[in-house]
Structure 1
């Protein structure tokens, strides 16, 4: 050490000359305080090695496990005007009990006999439909009769054609026979003339043969005329057949046209009947909507539309009902950073607002007034508050939840994770690390024999 100052002293002055130092050495309480401080220091170090259960805390409210057990509002299906209330807030109603009555405000449905008039329209249209059906059947029978008459006429014409052919054949044979007789008469006349010239026959025989020849010539003209008449009759029979076919085809076409018109009217009337039946069903159902009834057993929480004569639109909430039977549950919200640590089936500790509770988050076994729960649902989409919604049901393996808890009351939750020393948890929090991932024990499925 450099000896720069002249005031250097080799020996430091003793503190014992001060009265305060003397009193400290003589005071026994200071020694006790030192021991206490040392005790708590050692105790703090030991506490750091105690086990600590990591957890995820959340806050929410009491709700129901099933959607149909939650408070619901009853809406009016149709527009109307409130005429009479049958309940008040706090009343217990059973399923089907009348809550209120509304009257009609739309002019299309104000007719008091609307359903009856629509029913009569339906019956009238049904009778019209039956009439068209009968007309279609009648036209079908008429077409069949025309076809039968056509077949008979054609058969008669065919028979006439056959008769004409036979008559033509007979007349042609007679014509051939007359022609043969003409040849014979010519031959006999020529022979008689030759014999008369030779003096073997008298002139009277020649005159007789000439007369016979003229008779045969006249007969052949008559027979040819008869033969041509038979041909004309055959042609007329064929023309008559074509005329019958055309005439009855026209009659059938006209009858079928009338039948198709009747069928078209029948289908149109059937469509009108279906439309009227639909209107009748709608009007009947609408008449039953004037009385708004309770969908299930429950209590009337709040009347949302008060007064008499107030008009409400369709879909307007009128009254709120809380179901009488429900399975209680808790919905809580956790931060997105904690969502990967949450799994279905994990156990959760829950305590409720207004219920005596002493909570030690790191030592759940020491806590008082908390109840066991189990995660049954995890929402996959973030809520409006920036957190994820978790649904917790009572744990059947632990004590039941209090029966006096009301739906909507506040609740706090703690999801239990891994157990670590306190010093590790303090170190994790100071460094901002997430809790340890908690893995649930999954039992392997037993092999089927």
Structure 2
């Protein structure tokens, strides 16, 4: 519309003075742009009040929840030389399958019949111990016999002493009788001498009396000698009785010494037998280390030693094995200021490397290609300035893809509270952390295969405070 024809042109005094005002007009495109700009501004303003799901973003990689499910190196327990490879890389093995055969490199174990010969030595030592025990039993029996013989010998010696004492008494009585006979014979001889001098007795009778006197003298001397011999025999019997205990004590002491020596040898032999049994057991167990076996079901990932004849040391790794069907978990790293917002059991959305996904972190319900998870572990110490958490598959959602492998990259979003978009923008501009979830937070619905629905959780205030 020309400006001169505009209703306000008549009231404007400049219209009549300047003809250029009559040619001025507002372009239609400008008015359209202004309307669109105003509409978009109003739309952005209204969009600022739309709900936005706060989340904690983190990155990491796939690992396993259980330590036994992680890749492990299989070492050689003993030093040896590789004799034969029984597997190849990528091959599936069962627990106990032989991976590598090795042979000895220490000259101490070169004998192929070392275990058998050690067993023979052990049997010989056990036989020697049995004979030694029999010797100890014989020595104990010998001591018993010596003690019994001592009692018998002592009884015999006492009897001999008593017999010698009785003989001394008998010889003493005989001596008294011989002395009486001698005295009587002496007196009779004297009387015969007097009677012969008086002529009352003949010389023949005197000589007979002298002969009897000589016989009495001889008997007296014999009785004295017998008594002296009996007394000497009694003394010898008493000495023998006294020395008999010392003699048997010496024999018993020698037998006891031999028995104790046998006992000491038995203890020493038993120690040697225990040592040989230990050595035999070690050799038997060592013989089982010549075949390096798979510790569990899995796949041979990489051979760390190559070729035949290569020397391996004790404890040196030979091959890496990846366990079969591991329980996967996402290993994510979270900033320290976000750790108080997490707890075990909080739900997380995950995106895996190599898996197509369309992610709107603030609107999990519109995301595609993400998978559900649950926080299973939160470390109590930091790792290079960040805290590690382990996320396991959410049993209430879709299963994780089977082609996933340990070590793949993972992106995670721990879902928190719902806030307006304008508040989230203001928070991020100021660098504030997400809201501390003090009350219940509505869980998102279960996600389907197309990820049309996402999930949240409903943590308790007390658990989140921990």
Q: Which interval holds the TM-score relative to the shorter structure?
A: 0.7 to 0.9
Question: Aligned equivalents of 1:401 and 1:297: distance in 2?
Answer: 22
| Unaligned 5+ runs, structure 2 | 1-11, 188-214, 439-458
- Residue 251 of structure 1 and its aligned partner are, at CA, apart by 0.7
Equivalent position SS for 1:379 = strand
2:264 counterpart residue number: 264
Equivalent position SS for 2:280 = helix
Equivalent position SS for 1:78 = coil
- Residue 378 of structure 1 and its aligned partner are, at CA, apart by 1.7
| Unaligned 5+ runs, structure 1 | 1-10, 190-214, 445-449
Equivalent position SS for 2:116 = helix
Equivalent position SS for 1:390 = strand
2:428 counterpart residue number: 429
1:85 counterpart residue number: 85
1:52 counterpart residue number: 52
Compared CA separation, residues 47 and 267, structure 1 to 2 (3 A): same
1:124 counterpart residue number: 124
1:441 counterpart residue number: 460
Compared CA separation, residues 108 and 352, structure 1 to 2 (3 A): same
For the 8 Å contact 2:437–2:461, the answer to whether it is kept is no
Listed one character per residue, the Cα deviations across residues 241-274 of structure 1 (whole Å, up to 9, x for unaligned) are 3312111111111111111112222222222222
Listed one character per residue, the Cα deviations across residues 137-157 of structure 1 (whole Å, up to 9, x for unaligned) are 111111111111112222333
The within-5 A match list for 1:63-212 is 63-160=63-160
Compared CA separation, residues 135 and 429, structure 1 to 2 (3 A): same
Listed one character per residue, the Cα deviations across residues 327-367 of structure 1 (whole Å, up to 9, x for unaligned) are 22211111222223221111111111111212222222222
Compared CA separation, residues 393 and 226, structure 1 to 2 (3 A): same
Using the size of structure 2 for normalisation, the TM-score is 0.75
Equivalent position SS for 1:26 = coil
The within-5 A match list for 1:262-341 is 262-341=262-341
- How many residues are paired up? 407
- Residue 287 of structure 1 and its aligned partner are, at CA, apart by 2.0
1:414 counterpart residue number: 413
The structure showing larger relative contact order (alpha-carbon pairs under 8 Å, at least 6 residues apart) is: 1
Compared CA separation, residues 145 and 49, structure 1 to 2 (3 A): same
Equivalent position SS for 1:241 = helix
Equivalent position SS for 2:140 = helix
Compared CA separation, residues 265 and 360, structure 1 to 2 (3 A): same
- Residue 35 of structure 1 and its aligned partner are, at CA, apart by 2.3
Question: Aligned equivalents of 1:20 and 1:234: distance in 2?
Answer: 178
Equivalent position SS for 2:374 = strand
For the 8 Å contact 2:374–2:391, the answer to whether it is kept is yes
Question: Aligned equivalents of 2:378 and 2:20: distance in 1?
Answer: 71
1:388 counterpart residue number: 387
Question: Aligned equivalents of 2:266 and 2:318: distance in 1?
Answer: 47
Question: Aligned equivalents of 2:21 and 2:368: distance in 1?
Answer: 50
Question: Aligned equivalents of 1:386 and 1:21: distance in 2?
Answer: 72
